[in-house]
Amino acid sequence: MKFPDFQSVNTLEQHIQKTLAFYKPNVFDENGGFFQNFRDNGSIYDPHTRHLVGSARFVFNFSMAARHFKDSSYQTWIRHGLAHLETAHRQTSESGYAWVLGKDGVEDDSNHCYGLAFVMTAGATALLAGVAEGRKTIDSAWAIMEKHCWDEEAGLYRDEANADFSVIDPYRGQNSNLHSCEAMLWAYEATGEVRFLDRAEVIATNLTYTLADKWGNLVWEHYNENWEIDWEYNKNDPKNLFRPWGFQTGHQAEWAKLLLILHRHRKNDWSVLTAKTLFDSAVDIAWDDDNGGLCYGFDLDGNICDGDKYCWVQAEGIAAAALLAKTTKETIYKDWYQKIWEYSWEHLVDHKYGAWYQSLTQDNQKINDKKSPIAKTDYHTMGACYEVLRSGWL
């Protein structure tokens, strides 16, 4: 296969535009928000179910497009998406944002810090795109997270609660904190308020430096309420959508990316070295020499426990490799950037209809025809391209 120049601004911008074009004909719901659940050809297989994460990610997608391409026409879409978050997902002033909406209204009214983080990211990127309403969404998500989710002693966020936050689940996880760190970085860029950058640094330090130092310098997924590692959580459910078992290759790469964004805003002695450790360890274990691509997860002994190839894992690998190449000037990261892109371009990018296939088997066979199932919106794939462009590396 002949590959385009992945170090070309034009290549990445054209790829973003083609991915957006996959969604644009059918995604806008005149009755509120955006449709989720797309098949490979762009048709919708479930017009009713809306996940909070998907609703917020579409706002991110259109906000990034509006800002990068200086296209004000997207502002109508951004306001439309924010309104859906604040009127359909948002519940009473004493509760938060409903996790899942269905045909007849709220199907799951539980509160998840993971979802709140994406609400904040939506608000922040909307504000960066010139939509003033994004500020209200930032403040709303921050207030809820601060009051109900923040664990001051641990310096990390709690994960899950019921509708009115009267019951806090004992589970603690890194994934909600990863995306909370990301949300704080976006909020800092949007507002210039140092409290957001401070919070991002605290989260990143506690998870990728303090806690990871106890577990082989990699980030484990699951903990109990005292932030002691839980080795057994979801061990029998390795493909859980938000809480899979094992060391997740994509999360090591995603943390590497976030640490380098943090370093961009606040230089320190540890974030670049930690980013290198996370990325180097993950790709060394998870790269599939026989079939190409980064496998999904590996166990405590460094054996692959889930060999499937997920689009978001490759995308985060691409972004992390680019930022490492930019920051360290080491050729190996330029090589990884090219290697992961080539695999993704050949196997995961849909050159007929646009966007990326969600996942493949370890030997690169399609699993189903659901390209963008609920909550999946090509947020990672377009986001990786934007981050490479934002880095100034190209």
| Catalytic member of 15, 80, 251, 263 | 251
Instruction: Verify whether residue 251 is a known catalytic residue.
Output: yes
Q: Which residue is associated with the tokens 């849909």?
A: 350
Among this protein's residues, is 380 annotated catalytic? yes
Catalytic residue annotation: 251, 380
